[in-house]
Amino acid sequence: MKIYKTQEEVTADIKDGVLAIDGDVRFECNISIIASIVVTDGGLNCWDLNCLGLICWNLKCRDLKCLNLNCFDLTCRDLTCWDLNCRDLTCWDLNCRDLKCLNLNCKNINCRNINCENINCEDINCWDLNCRDLICWNLKCRDLSYFALCLAYQSITCTSYKARRKVHQEPICLDGELTISK
């Protein structure tokens, strides 16, 4: 496992704007670089990471700020990202412009566009939401598009909603109400 203890060690390994790491890596310092990080055959474990681009198989991080992120499994406390493509994402707070994900488990999501297979979340705030199955506590979005089922424990607020399956259920709010805003 490669262990970086200082920002200077990280900067020294950057070649042509890329920090290429073969195998597992752990950052024991806060990292802020204007470069891409590519991790092959391993995972990345860090506290605070700020980078231009990140490609990784497994990522565990407390705070992550990234322009482009492609990841197989991502576990993070705070994630701020421009473009995020991920298979499995577990996050405490997610702020993202574009999110494409197979499975998303998150406490709070603030996003411009979400395209996801399955979402389980406490609060979702976004512009456009396109997903297969959605279960959350509170949902606020501009346009809601879902396959067959959209369920919120409290409330759903949107300007429009559309089910993409002929046989579907209208949006369900167990303890609140569905509000169509203009």
Measure Cα distances from 80 to 45, 64, 97 in Å: 17, 6, 9
Do the beta carbons of residue 82 and residue 67 sit within 8 Å?
yes
Do the beta carbons of residue 71 and residue 57 sit within 8 Å?
yes
What pTM does this model have? 0.78
d(CA 143, CA 153): 19
pLDDT tens for each residue of 132-150? 878 888 888 888 888 888 8
pLDDT tens, residue order, the chain (182 aa):
889 999 999 999 999 988 888 888 888 888 888 888 888 777 888 888 888 888 888 888 888 888 888 888 888 888 888 888 888 888 888 888 888 888 888 888 888 888 888 888 888 888 888 888 788 888 888 888 888 888 888 899 999 999 989 999 999 999 999 999 87
